[in-house]
Structure 1
Amino acid sequence: MTETGKTAVFAAVALVLTGMAMIATRDYTARPETFSDQGQPFFPEFKDPLACTDLDVVDYDPSTATAARFQVKFQNNKWVIPSHYGYPADARDRLSKTAAALMDLTKDTIRSDAPDDQEKMGVVDPLDAKAPSLKGRGKRITLRDASEKVLADFIIGGKIKDRTDEYYVRVPGKNRIYGVKLKAEPSTKFADWIETNLLGLDASKLRKVEFDDYKVNLEQGYQKGEVLDIERKNATDPWTLVGGLPEGMQLDDDKLRTLTNTLSDLKIVGVRSKPAGLTRDLKKDDGSGITISTQALASLQGKGFYMTKDNQLLSNQGDVRAYCDDGVVYTLRFGEVALGVGDQLTAGERDDAEAKKDAAKKDEKTSGGAADNRYVMVTVAFDPALIPAPQAEPLADPSPAPGELPDKVIAADPAEEKAAKLKAEREKADYDKKVADGKKRAQELTDRFAAWYYVTPGDSFRSVDLDRAALVVPLKPKTAAPGGAMPPGFPGGAGGLPPGFSIPGH
């Protein structure tokens, strides 16, 4: 082989070896770079869950091909839900707990870097208007601080098969998809962020319930109904009907039990905001009538509530008044049916025509559906007569009986007088405190309820809106004590002793 040939061979071998070295080196350095972020936190700078003042969740609804946004925000020193007219987010610790759980998310496993896998894994951005397909859109969650700085932003996709609580997750604007174990997924349900117990009523304080069973609407006007009162002296006494029960009748214990349970935990499934003027006027309700501006009447009538000429507020389905021993009197006025499902029901986002269609669809599938929900207005007054006033105990009278002469004059015991005076002062102070506390609570509740129409479930409405037919039932026969009666055919039974039988010793 000539020198030129040898040189060419050596050059070719050197080139091959150099190429192999480059490939090996590239593969060696690229592999750890590919998996360099596995196991790392998504947002390492997000370290304080209390810094979060804004939670924004966008979920895609394939049935309407729209992205629905749910937001919880800290405004004016309180947590509110902007999508629901700024209604208070009473579940105060939920946001901090949710933020803490999301703050700790780590990139547990790397699943794909291919854009084509986003649809299959359900991590397409629901806000991406340029995405070619409507399928595979995930739930985008964004957390911000008071300065609107983004603390965390990611898209939760589908659940990973055969992995407990593990989901596909992608950061918006990035192609990489991770497998992530979620400790908590932010809820977009209105009920999860509010205090669903509307009244906050303590059932043990309930002393009287009044059912005013009138009806009113624009077509038929006012139809008077029966007013029925039940009462009890304390929480352990049975309920009695004011005016007495007809012979052979009793109050339905099951209905009364359900009534007290429902009043103490009256659920709401939606809210509507009242006009500002109506809100101010309702805060003035002291039981003597409510004066409102004419522009608020349309708002009232649309929900099934009406004003009389003498400024009395009436409702489509009558009133229920609950009297408590702390002086607080709740008046529940039940109005029209609240139509709709989903956001339509919780916030009334779409018009009544659309709501009726969706409500009808739901009713076709389920009994007791959306058409059962009712608007309810709550007003509160304070009645000091409900708080038992202290009764002064008379001191023992040392004077002799009429016509009798004492052997000696017995003076009143100063120690007994002092003790009685101190006791009376304590009881008076205790009574005054109860009155002050009752007034304060009534005002707080008035401020809370005045701005809102509420939507209560059909079951709650039916459990509270009772009439005589529901409450008064035939008297149940008393069951004999064990061993106290003999079956038919035996002594003491209906038919006496059967022929041919006898009892030993008789």
Structure 2
Amino acid sequence: MRTTLVFVVLAAISAGLAWWSKPEAISKESDVTEDRVGQDVFPGFNDPELAASLEIIQYDETLAQLKPFVVAKDRQTGLWKLPSHDGYPADAAEQVRDATTPLIGLRILSIASTDRGDHELYGVVSPEDSSLAAGSSGIGMLVRLKDATGKVLAALIIGKEVEGTVGQRYVRIPTEDVVYTVEIDTRAFTTDFRDWIDDQLLDVRGFDIARVGVRDYELVQQANNTMGLTRNFDATVAYDAAQNRWSLVDYRVYRGGAALPAEPEPGQTLNTRFLNDLRIAVQDLQIINVKRKPAALAEALRAETIELKDQQSIASLQEQGYFPAQGPQGTEIYASGGETIIGTVDGVEYVLKFGKAAASLGALGGDGQADSGGLSRFLIVQARLDPAQFPQPDLEVLPETVEELLARDKEQLGDDAPADETEEELRERLEVVREQIAKENQRKIDERNERMEAARQRVEALNARFSDWYYIVADNLYRRLRITRDTLFTSASNIPGGIAPAADGNPPPITSADGQPSAKKPPGDASGDTASPSDSTPPDSAPAGDASQTEPQSLIPDDLQSPKSNSPGDPEPPAADSPAGPGDGEGTGNGKDAGNGNGTGDGGTRPPAAVDA
């Protein structure tokens, strides 16, 4: 009985102490925090240049997982990177300063609460709280700045907006229970990947584009669990910025594995509306996320000739929708989403290889909504030199004799040619003229070589940047960049000012770049001769629009199979020197992809079909 009374007394004393001490503690904290009204939240932080990292941490209440966004300065290079995105380079110096500035001189307007139980009400629950679970609510956004040593300069949990105000928010310092109201612009705390990077991936302007090429093929799953290749057509079109005109430089379809020169279908012409929009899409090409490639794959893509030998690289490519094929000139990478080739006036070609599509690849924008309904697509970019932009200069022949000098004078000067020169004077002038011509010829050669070397260095620098990354683009952008037969050609009657087919169904005459009728007739045009219909299609050319009728060629030989697709007895891969490049039936290619071709073509006897843009 006596023991029971002792426990009762002790319990009563403990309850009384708890009742007495709780309001006293809150009262004291209130007294302290009321004194802070009008003061800065972070009085010791006033230099934005001290910031070496910025973390913006949010919590996905539906998935019950953190969504961290981190930008940090590399200690060795001093450059900003995005650790939350595999270390992708950030264009973030100004952005970090913009995100830092709101925290400097951030003044406390009032005290909303000192009770921890009110955190959910004001939306200032820490996203790093270990007790969070699916369905948790009232979770704020944590912004944390650190210096180069890792010391926290400022940390703030930003909660709900204060009702009836503009720009005011409830906030809390993570180590405190007190909830303040402040006026803060949260737009600088964006976690949209695109806001933190150089959004011009290619840095190509619309008027820099000189040529556009396409390799149209299909990758088909075969019975032996390998991937087969069916080629459809290759095409190259050129753009004349001065004339605002597109012209068809080369068009080939595949029959029996061979690329044969062809013409558009009767009544079809270049779809200049699509091509002009493609120029804009290239100029505005933006990525919405990235994924780092395996180191061995990145290193292989930086080499002059691609050689893939490790299973990790092969598996990574296949996972993203790419399939390598080994040939005598190295490994070529085929893309499940097709290829578009952009050639520029400075001699650099950009090969855009589109991989698989998936709904989970995109990054959420600032409004929490993904682009294109969430559908995105992988993109590999490779740069290569376009020799077609560096033709050999037109060099003048040096006169060897006085007679050749006089003939040159008559051709260039006519009646103004010097007269009554002595033999000695002519010989002296011959040496002077030869020296002048030699210097001018060398200047032309040097100018061409310097341009080519600048382009080669540009290609090397671009591939050093592109090789590390799978880029991810929105599907709506992909549709603007992906060229098919249906988007490349359209009925002439659909083009403003276009010419519809004649009543007899024959197409209008193909014109060259100067607007003159082409000497070569379109397929099926028998006007002016009595040739039979079969004569209109030469034996070495393909009917208009004819796609390949061959069986798919198998990709990925045995020694490059990933474990999941390895199958004994796989067919040999397609030869990398098969006709593949736009306008290059030889398929010798250049730069990174064996067999890609440079688009110059060996069937260039047909004058280009030009269409005003």
What's the TM-score once normalised by structure 2's chain length?
A: 0.63
Counterpart of 2:145?
143
Cα deviation, residue 477, structure 1: 7.6
Q: Name the % identity.
A: 28
Counterpart of 2:38?
39
Matches within 5 A, 1:180-329: 180-184=182-186, 185-219=188-222, 221-234=228-241, 236-243=243-250, 248-286=267-305, 289-310=306-327, 311-329=331-349
Matches within 5 A, 1:398-437: 398-399=409-410, 408-409=420-421, 427-437=444-454
Counterpart of 2:89?
88
Cα deviation, residue 236, structure 1: 4.5
**Partner AA of 2:373 in structure 1:** G
Higher relative contact order (CA 8 A, sep 6+): 2
Cα deviation, residue 53, structure 1: 0.8
Structure 1 stretch displaced more, 301-310 or 89-98: 89-98
Taking a change above 3 Å as real, the CA distance of residues 280 and 131 of structure 1, as seen in their structure-2 partners, is: closer
Q: Is the 8 A contact 1:285 1:379 kept in 2?
A: no
Partner SS state of residue 308, structure 1: strand
Counterpart of 2:604?
none
Taking a change above 3 Å as real, the CA distance of residues 380 and 397 of structure 1, as seen in their structure-2 partners, is: same
The alignment status of 1:387 with 2:382, answered yes or no, reads no
Matches within 5 A, 1:21-36: 34-36=33-35
Q: Is the 8 A contact 2:362 2:473 kept in 1?
A: no
- CA deviation string 1:132-154 (max 9, x = no partner): 99221101111000100110011
Cα deviation, residue 479, structure 1: 7.9
Taking a change above 3 Å as real, the CA distance of residues 250 and 342 of structure 1, as seen in their structure-2 partners, is: closer
**Partner AA of 1:228 in structure 2:** A
Taking a change above 3 Å as real, the CA distance of residues 473 and 449 of structure 1, as seen in their structure-2 partners, is: same
Q: Is the 8 A contact 2:64 2:132 kept in 1?
A: no
Cα deviation, residue 106, structure 1: 1.9
Partner SS state of residue 255, structure 1: helix
Cα deviation, residue 425, structure 1: 5.8
Matches within 5 A, 1:118-197: 118-130=119-131, 134-184=136-186, 185-197=188-200
**Partner AA of 1:46 in structure 2:** F
Cα deviation, residue 421, structure 1: 6.7
- CA deviation string 1:308-359 (max 9, x = no partner): 131221111222111112121111111111331666x89xxxxxxxxxxxxx
The alignment status of 1:374 with 2:391, answered yes or no, reads no
Q: Give the length in aligned residue pairs.
A: 428
Q: Which runs of 5 or more structure 2 residues have no equivalent in the other structure? A: 1-27, 251-262, 398-404, 498-613
**Partner AA of 1:370 in structure 2:** G
Taking a change above 3 Å as real, the CA distance of residues 41 and 384 of structure 1, as seen in their structure-2 partners, is: farther
Counterpart of 1:488?
none
Q: Matched residues in 1 for 2:142 and 2:206: separation?
A: 42
Give the aligned CA root-mean-square deviation in angstroms: 3.4
Cα deviation, residue 173, structure 1: 2.0
Cα deviation, residue 116, structure 1: 3.0
- CA deviation string 1:365-423 (max 9, x = no partner): x995334x21111111123431355444689922489xx99963495599988877776
- CA deviation string 1:255-301 (max 9, x = no partner): 11111111122121221111111111010145xx5444333111111
Point out the structure with max Rg over C-alpha: 1
Q: Is the 8 A contact 1:123 1:157 kept in 2?
A: yes
Q: Is the 8 A contact 1:328 1:380 kept in 2?
A: yes
Cα deviation, residue 120, structure 1: 1.2
Q: Is the 8 A contact 1:249 1:473 kept in 2?
A: yes
Matches within 5 A, 1:71-82: 71-75=70-74, 76-77=76-77, 78-82=79-83
Structure 1 stretch displaced more, 43-52 or 231-240: 231-240
Structure 1 stretch displaced more, 391-400 or 298-307: 391-400
Q: Matched residues in 1 for 2:490 and 2:447: separation?
A: 41
**Partner AA of 1:155 in structure 2:** I
Structure 1 stretch displaced more, 181-190 or 301-310: 181-190
The alignment status of 1:103 with 2:122, answered yes or no, reads no
Structure 1 stretch displaced more, 321-330 or 33-42: 33-42
Q: Matched residues in 2 for 1:397 and 1:140: separation?
A: 80
Partner SS state of residue 313, structure 2: helix
Q: Matched residues in 2 for 1:231 and 1:466: separation?
A: 14
Q: Is the 8 A contact 1:79 1:92 kept in 2?
A: yes
Cα deviation, residue 446, structure 1: 0.2
Q: Matched residues in 2 for 1:33 and 1:477: separation?
A: 76
Partner SS state of residue 83, structure 1: helix
Structure 1 stretch displaced more, 245-254 or 274-283: 245-254
Q: Matched residues in 1 for 2:57 and 2:360: separation?
A: 21
Taking a change above 3 Å as real, the CA distance of residues 248 and 290 of structure 1, as seen in their structure-2 partners, is: same
Q: Is the 8 A contact 2:106 2:182 kept in 1?
A: yes
Structure 1 stretch displaced more, 139-148 or 426-435: 426-435
Q: Matched residues in 1 for 2:495 and 2:157: separation?
A: 64
Taking a change above 3 Å as real, the CA distance of residues 46 and 217 of structure 1, as seen in their structure-2 partners, is: farther
Alignment partner for residue 448 of structure 1, among 462, 465, 472? 465
Q: Matched residues in 1 for 2:488 and 2:161: separation?
A: 50
Q: Is the 8 A contact 2:361 2:472 kept in 1?
A: no
Q: Is the 8 A contact 1:210 1:229 kept in 2?
A: yes
Taking a change above 3 Å as real, the CA distance of residues 475 and 103 of structure 1, as seen in their structure-2 partners, is: same
Partner SS state of residue 478, structure 2: helix
The alignment status of 1:337 with 2:340, answered yes or no, reads no
**Partner AA of 1:330 in structure 2:** Y
Q: Which runs of 5 or more structure 1 residues have no equivalent in the other structure? A: 1-28, 347-361, 481-506
Q: Matched residues in 2 for 1:203 and 1:217: separation?
A: 34
Q: Is the 8 A contact 1:400 1:406 kept in 2?
A: no
Matches within 5 A, 1:57-72: 57-72=56-71
Taking a change above 3 Å as real, the CA distance of residues 390 and 118 of structure 1, as seen in their structure-2 partners, is: same
Structure 1 stretch displaced more, 387-396 or 377-386: 387-396
Q: Matched residues in 1 for 2:496 and 2:386: separation?
A: 42
Q: Is the 8 A contact 1:120 1:136 kept in 2?
A: yes
Partner SS state of residue 67, structure 1: strand
Taking a change above 3 Å as real, the CA distance of residues 280 and 81 of structure 1, as seen in their structure-2 partners, is: same
**Partner AA of 2:108 in structure 1:** K
What's the TM-score once normalised by structure 1's chain length?
A: 0.75
Taking a change above 3 Å as real, the CA distance of residues 407 and 336 of structure 1, as seen in their structure-2 partners, is: closer
